[in-house]
Structure 1
Amino acid sequence: MRKLKATATLGTILLILLTLPNGRALAQNKPQSPAQTANAPFELKDGDRVVFLGNSLFENDFQYGYLELALTTRFPDRFVTFRNLGWTGDNVFGDARSTFTNPPTAYEHLMNQLTQAKPTLVFLGYGGVEAQEGEAGLPRFKEGLTKLLDKIDQLGAQTILLSPIPVVAFDSSQNVTQRNAMLERYAAEIAKTAAERGKRFIDLYKPIQELSRKAPILENGVHLNETGYYHLATILEKGLGLAPSGQTVTINVGKNGAEAAAPVRVLDAGKENSTVKFTMDESYLPLPLPEQDPETGTVVSDGRTLKITGLKKGFYTLTADNDEVVTASAKQWAEGVPIRQGASYTQAEQLRQMILKKNELFYFQYRPLNQTYILGFRSYEQGRHVKGLEEQNILIKWLESQIALTRQPQSKVYSLTLLK
């Protein structure tokens, strides 16, 4: 379950209200139609509203923001907004949402929250909790999943179904094998339902299982950690058919200067080719790398590599707009050097922090800590605070406008210089 922080004060809301820019960020998002088929190329359109609906698989990403960041950066020219409706312990009937009032029922809460989010695309992540019911629970799960898909269709939104992820044992427990077998069984049922209804399905189970054997991407054996969500974002990109985010760009240095193919454009090759200046048109920002675990030494490479051949012996420093990025030998540059920091990563991290703040505000808006007294059966006591929750939309929309301004890659001048 995500860690809670204090939300914004009314004074902060009023301050932002005074500086809120007019324009697109205040526009209503309208559903897009017709719905995509399972095999159609994936893309997000201007005005789309993406909703993550499911259990802790989505709720825990409130702490990291990788899923939203990956989709935001992939379509930097589209104004797309996101709402995370993940709820730890939830199932297709919304049972975990029955924490503060009945009636409305938990299922009615689920339906209301989904409807109010006004989705055009829903990523659906259920099955992990239901799998605990075993084979006997499959018919009821299928029934609930079908009803939920019917509702999403009625809202005019597309659906992408995700499988549950495996669990990992930290001890000699014999239940893990059985648990994973049942998770695979439910994943197969989700895949079957997706095929029957012409929906896109993305298998998370096998990729996460394979990665968990190589690196500690799960905490407590059940929930993804920061590195896990980084990988989940890349798995999601692959499952959507998006081109790999990693790329290798090559610059060849010769007697007559330096040459490179798009997206690199050489500006200048200095005396004796000891300095090479170039620009690189980046289609989208990279994913910021997760913090490394000092105990396990886990290293993540996002695949962005710069290869420069023909350099004379020595060590060369790469800078971006005069800020140092990395230093390596001529041999290493010829083999290819991973670029894991620099201005693009700084910008991407700034974007992620905006996403995290926006999601935090939304979290406390749609499920406030004292919801029984504000939204529930005791709302006659503090129901007046509903207006304050609605005013959070001002901050949320303002942050979305800032996200829109920050998601575009910025042109930079790179310089590779021989150290003397």
Structure 2
Amino acid sequence: MIRLKVPVFAGYIVLFFLTLAGGFASGQSSTTANAPKFDLKDGDRVVFLGNSIFENDFQYGYLEMALTTRFSDKGITFRNLGWTGDNVWGEGRSTYTNPPTPYQHLMEDITKAQPTVVFLAYGGVEAQDGKAGIPHFKEGLEKLLDTLDKLGARTILLSTIPVASNDTAQHVAERNADLELYSTAIYQVASLRNKQYIDIYNPILNTSKKSVILENTVHLNELGYYYLATILEKALGLDAAKATTAITYAKEKSTASNGKVIPADDESALVKFTVQNQYLPLPTPKSGGWIVDNARMLRIAGLKKGYYVLMSENKEVAAASAREWESGVEIKQGPQFSQSEEVRNMILKKNEIHFFQYRPMNQTYITGFRKYEQGRHVKGLEDQNILIKFLEGQIILNSEPKEVTYELRKLE
């Protein structure tokens, strides 16, 4: 069980993810353009702004989890402002209340989030207008980037993602061709403004041919968001090397690489050691967990012929033969995976509270033109900040990997 503590942290970052497929017409095959080394500072706030590609991650939390674990020593906080059906003009955010207009609503959401880094994800909805709609889209994108620049936020633009359906091949091809056009438009704007651009269209397209990661034509499922998180890690230059621990067993004295051998408590343990990895693994998706690559690698040499079981906290983690241990065994469960899942659950709870705070179901009666009836509940929405900040504190304090103790025993 993770201990709950309350830290002190300050500052904000917004990451704006722009989901548009791009770089194709301009001959860009690289993942990013104008890509400096990505880093986050203490107190940054990361905001995900865009259409359904961000809103749907409310269910899974993989994008926030990926950045949280890679910068666990920083007091990073996040806001997910994704809105299904939204475009660069904020038209998906329309309500019965006017003013504010949908665009004013979008501007209010951005300003309240106080971004310092923004991942921007738009273009999928606008692509339905085809080639003729590109000038209007670019105009809105430029205007949006002007606002983010004035707020002092660093912006990272993402491409669109492809569609996949049982519709005719011709219709799917036409739809994806439009998505690529809008991705190219995003790439062009990013290049002119010296912004980082990330192509997620091609990686998602290639992965969708091997695994079921899209549902309802265009929406990513849990496995899809796992892969999207790993795509962003790679594009941002975050180390994705599989953590490997090597143990050389000897009766007199065992040694370890990326680990530490410690005295065993009982004679049944051949070797006891601790491992402190740099960051937590991403949680394993409930579906397709057997094909994801979030394992830690453990190699143990010097064992006599036979089968051996790896234990941690009195639970079996893995079992294999001496030959398999020497070649390397993937560790896909254990304390670090449990810790990772607990941190993600905190992220999901925090995001749920924030979602209903900034998008209350009875918004018209609380903040809209009928607020004279129930406007008193505004204070209740503001009070949710206490819970949000508390959970943010727990996420920050518990996202750094804890040292894990293992014991290797021979199966008789």
User: Structure 2-normalised TM-score?
Assistant: 0.90
From 362, 376, 387, the equivalent of 1:384 is: 376
- State which of 46, 71, 78 in structure 2 corresponds to 1:75: 71
Q: Paired residue for 1:363?
A: 355
Give secondary structure in 1 for the equivalent of 2:382.
Answer: helix
Which residue of structure 2 aligns with residue 192 of structure 1?
188
CA distance in 1, matches of 2:74, 2:7: 15
Q: Which segment is superposed worse, 389-398 or 246-255?
A: 246-255
Aligned equivalent of 1:341: 333
Q: Which consecutive residues of structure 2, in runs of 5 or more, have no partner in the other structure?
A: 15-32
- For 1:303-342, list aligned pairs within 5 A: 303-342=295-334
Aligned residues: 391
> 1:40 pairs with 36, 39, 46, which one?
36
Q: Which residue of 1 aligns with 2:346?
A: 354
State whether residues 243 and 297 of structure 2, in contact with CA within 8 Å, keep that contact through their aligned partners in structure 1. yes
CA–CA separation in structure 2 for the residues paired with 1:244 and 1:139: 38
| Structure 1 residue 172 displacement after superposition | 3.4
Q: Distance in 1 between matches of 2:341 and 2:405?
A: 20
Q: What is the deviation of 1:43?
A: 1.2
- The whole-number CA distance in structure 2 between the counterparts of 1:22 and 1:230 is 29
> In 1, Cα distance between the equivalents of 2:154 and 2:371?
34
The answer to whether the Cα contact below 8 Å between 2:190 and 2:196 also exists between their aligned partners in 1 is yes
Pairwise CA distance, 1:339: 1.1
Per-residue deviation, 1:272: 11
One-letter amino acid of the structure 1 residue matched with residue 254 of structure 2: A
Q: Which amino acid aligns with 1:76?
A: S
Distance (whole Å) between structure 2 residues aligned to residue 195 and residue 162 of structure 1: 13
Is the contact made by 1:301 and 1:338 (CA closer than 8 Å) also made in structure 2?
A: no
Tell me how far 1:151 sits from its aligned partner: 0.4
- Pair 42,330 (structure 1): closer, same or farther in 2 beyond 3 Å: same
Q: Does structure 2 retain, via aligned residues, the 8 Å contact 1:57–1:86?
A: yes
Equivalent position amino acid for 2:404 in 1? K
Q: Distance in 1 between matches of 2:358 and 2:145?
A: 22
Counterpart AA for 1:172: T
Unaligned stretches of 5+ residues in structure 1: 1-19
Q: Could you tell me which amino acid in structure 2 is paired with residue 341 of structure 1?
A: Q
**1:258, CA displacement in angstroms?**
2.9
Contact 2:13 2:78 in 1 (8 A): no
Q: Distance in 2 between matches of 1:354 and 1:274?
A: 35
Match of 1:229 among 202, 225, 228: 225
CA contact (8 A) 2:13 2:47 kept: no
Counterpart of 1:385, as a letter, is: H
Matching residue of 1:287: 282
Is 272-281 or 52-61 further displaced after alignment? Answer: 272-281
How far off is 1:100 after superposition?
3.0
The structural deviation recorded for 1:57 is 0.2
Matched to 1:212, the amino acid is: S
Residue 127 to residue 31, structure 1, CA distance change in 2 (3 Å): closer
Instruction: Report the CA distance between 1:270 and its aligned residue.
Output: 10
The code of the aligned residue for 2:92 comes to A
Counterpart of 2:393 in structure 1 is 401
Deviations 1:155-185 (A, max 9, x none): 0110011111111123435311111111111
The aligned runs of 1:97-176 (5 Å cut-off) are 97-176=93-172
Which one of the candidate residues 270, 274, 285 is aligned to 1:275? 270
Question: Deviation at 1:252?
Answer: 2.8
**Match status 1:61 vs 2:57:** yes
Aligned AA (1:234)? T
2:261 maps to what in 1?
266
| Structure 1 residue 265 displacement after superposition | 1.9
Of 162, 174, 178 in structure 2, the residue corresponding to residue 182 of structure 1 is 178
1:326 shift after superposition: 1.4
Q: Which string of whole-angstrom CA distances, capped at 9 and with x for unpartnered residues, describes residues 338-367 of structure 1?
A: 111100010111100000000000000000
Residue 8 of structure 2 is aligned to residue 24 of structure 1: yes
* Aligned partners of 2:269 and 2:407 also within 8 Å: no
Which stretch shows the higher mean deviation, 191-200 or 46-55? 191-200
> Is the alpha carbon distance of 1:127 and 1:308 closer, same or farther for their aligned partners in structure 2, counting shifts above 3 Å?
same
Worse overlay, 265-274 or 362-371: 265-274
**Secondary structure of 2:298's partner?**
strand
Percent identity (aligned): 59
Contact 2:5/2:397 (<8 A) preserved = no
